């Protein structure tokens, strides 16, 4: 066992504080990684505060991890000591169900192991995430990171990047498609950059007028204020796709009506409260409401390579680990431009 330093939530209503725990020694297929940067995802907040239920304390969040390989097991062929690598939202899965066999480990039929607050495949230990000095991960779930891009700006690609890239690819978003991105936060800003890079005509749908200039800089052709009733009425039947990244409960019906016939609204934001949806939103215009969870290992590597090739990174504000509680408050207040990333050297 190796003792690692970390930051943990000890209870839903407590701030994160310094914590230490033991990580397993790298096994034959494992890679040990010294963490350099870890992004701060809204899922970290949902989990630390037990908003989705089921949080096991102490909880160490963090699933946008970039670091250097420090040790490898004897079977590890993909990586060597000193390589720059990444770890995203999950660190293991059954590896034999039909989804795992189709590079869709995120939908493992036997339950994948997420990077934090998740049951390991031994069905005993609960995982602890990237707000820590080191992590040990089986090689299949470790990603190669190009040294071409600044690593602190690459870290958020491991969740915000792949969560938006995967549905854009799955639903085949292409040049000329009109897509509305709802919510300009961590996921939203990556959605705008990625959809624009694929040639789509992006409209930012935001409740924050102050983000209009940024939306244009990120690649959105239009900016529409969702709090304005007249604007929303004018937007009826406008989009082929809507990608909804909002973290809090809101009325999906208001957005479904903005789709053209056969339009698809893709939910990636994960509010803790359910929202009722009217049957007429689907019947009128044959519209669909769908969801998507991060992306598989193969697709995550594809996304990282795509971003390196197209020079796409996240807009980040680098923080010290002792600013994490303030970063949570600012994220909740919508005051994030557009991802906090922890410099783990400050741990």
**Contact call for residue 247 and ligand NAP (CB under 6 A):** yes
- Contacts of residue 68, defined as CB under 8 A and 6 or more positions apart, other chains included, come to 33, 34, 36, 82, 83, 84, 85
* 139, 79 Cβ separation under 8 angstroms: yes
Length of the chain equals 347
Give the span between the Cα atoms of 267 and 250, in whole angstroms: 12
Q: How far apart are CA 107 and CA 99, in angstroms?
A: 6
Tokens of 221: 């052709």
Residues 267-326 that bind ligand NAP (CB under 6 A): 268-270, 292-294
Among 246, 264, 324, 347, binds ligand NAP (CB under 6 A): 246
Rounded to whole angstroms, the Cα distance separating 58 from 50 reads 12
User: Is residue 190 within the footprint of Zn ion (CB under 5 A)?
Assistant: no
Smallest separation (angstroms) from ligand NAP to the CB of 183:
3
Of 336 and 344, which has the nearer Cβ to ligand NAP?
Answer: 336
In terms of CB distance, is 26 or 188 closer to ligand NAP?
188
Region binding Zn ion by CB under 5 A among candidate stretches 21-29, 78-86, 153-161, 301-309: 153-161
Minimum distance, C-beta of residue 275 to ligand NAP, in the bound complex (Å) = 11
Q: Please tell me the distance from the alpha carbon of residue 255 to that of residue 262, in angstroms, as a whole number.
A: 14
Residue 336 binding ligand NAP, by CB under 6 A: yes
If one asks whether residue 56 binds ligand NAP (CB under 6 A), the answer comes out as no
The interface region with Zn ion, picked from 39-47, 48-56, 322-330, 333-341 by CB under 5 A, is 39-47
Q: Are 209 and 220 in contact (CB under 8 A)?
A: no
The label of the residue with tokens 């200039």 reads: 213
Binding partner selected for residue 186 from Zn ion, ligand NAP, none, CB under the kind-specific 5 to 8 Å limit: ligand NAP
Decide if residue 193 touches ligand NAP (CB under 6 A). no
Q: Angle formed by the axes of helices 297-310 and 160-170, to 10°?
A: 100
Dihedral sign, Cα of residue 128, residue 129, residue 133, residue 139: positive
Rounded least distance, CB 76 to ligand NAP, Å = 28
17 binds, among ligand NAP, Zn ion, none (CB under 5 to 8 A by kind): none
| Distance from the Cα of residue 318 to its chain's centroid | 17
Tokens of 44: 């970290």
Q: What are phi and psi of 299, to 5 degrees?
A: -70, -30
Backbone angles phi, psi at 279, to 5 degrees: -55, -30
Instruction: Write each residue from 135 to 164 as x if it is in contact with ligand NAP (CB under 6 A), else as -, in one continuous string.
Output: ------------------------x---x-
Q: Which of 159, 297, 342, 347 binds Zn ion (CB under 5 A)?
A: 159
Nearer to ligand NAP, 133 or 247 (CB): 247
**Separation of alpha carbons 13 and 8, rounded Å:** 12
Is residue 60 helix, strand or coil?
coil
Residue showing the smallest CB distance to ligand NAP in the complex = 185
Report, in Å, the least distance between residue 10 CB and ligand NAP: 21
Q: Within a 10 A sphere around the Cβ of 192, how many other Cβ atoms? A: 29
Determine the interface stretch with Zn ion among 106-114, 152-160, 206-214, 216-224 (rule: CB under 5 A). Answer: 152-160
> Which position among 41, 179, 266, 341 is part of the footprint of Zn ion (CB under 5 A)?
41
Stretch that binds Zn ion, among 7-15, 30-38, 159-167, 244-252 (CB under 5 A): 159-167
SS3 93: coil
**Using CB under 6 A as the criterion, which residues of the chain lie in contact with ligand NAP when the complex forms?**
41-43, 46, 159, 163, 183-188, 206-208, 211, 245-248, 250, 268-270, 292-294, 331, 334, 336
Binding site for Zn ion (CB under 5 A): 41, 43, 159
């Amino acid at each position: 066992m190796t003792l690692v330093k970390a930051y943990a939530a000890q209870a839903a209503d407590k701030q994160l504080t310094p914590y230490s725990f033991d990580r397993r020694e790298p096994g034959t297929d494992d890679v040990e990684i010294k963490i350099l940067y870890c992004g701060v995802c809204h899922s970290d907040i949902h989990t630390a505060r037990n908003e989705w239920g089921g949080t096991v304390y102490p909880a160490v969040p963090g699933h946008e991890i970039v670091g250097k390989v420090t040790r490898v097991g004897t079977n590890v062929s993909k990586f060597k000591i000193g390589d720059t690598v990444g770890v995203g939202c999950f660190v293991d899965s059954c590896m034999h169900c039909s989804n795992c066999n189709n590079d869709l480990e995120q939908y493992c039929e036997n339950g994948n192991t997420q990077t934090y607050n998740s049951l390991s495949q031994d069905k005993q230990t609960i995982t602890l995430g990237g707000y820590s000095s080191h992590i040990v991960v089986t090689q299949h779930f470790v990603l190669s990171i190009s040294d071409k891009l600044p690593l602190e700006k690459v870290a958020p690609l491991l969740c915000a990047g792949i969560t938006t890239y995967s549905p854009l690819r799955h639903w085949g978003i292409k040049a000329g498609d009109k897509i509305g991105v709802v919510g300009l936060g961590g996921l939203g800003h990556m959605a705008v950059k990625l959809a624009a890079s694929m040639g789509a005509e992006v409209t930012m749908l935001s409740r924050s007028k102050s983000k209009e200039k940024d939306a244009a800089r990120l690649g959105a052709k239009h900016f529409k204020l969702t709090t304005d009733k007249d604007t929303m009425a004018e937007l009826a039947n406008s989009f082929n796709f809507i990608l909804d990244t909002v973290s809090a409960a809101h009325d999906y019906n208001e957005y479904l009506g903005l789709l053209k016939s056969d339009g698809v609204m893709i939910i990636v934001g994960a509010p803790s409260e359910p929202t009722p949806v009217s049957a007429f939103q689907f019947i009128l215009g044959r519209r669909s409401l769908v969801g998507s969870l991060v992306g598989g290992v193969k697709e995550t590597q594809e996304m990282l390579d795509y971003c390196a090739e197209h020079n796409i990174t996240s807009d980040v504000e680098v923080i010290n680990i002792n600013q994490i509680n303030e970063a949570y408050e600012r994220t909740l207040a919508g005051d994030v431009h557009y991802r906090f990333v922890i410099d783990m050297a400050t741990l």
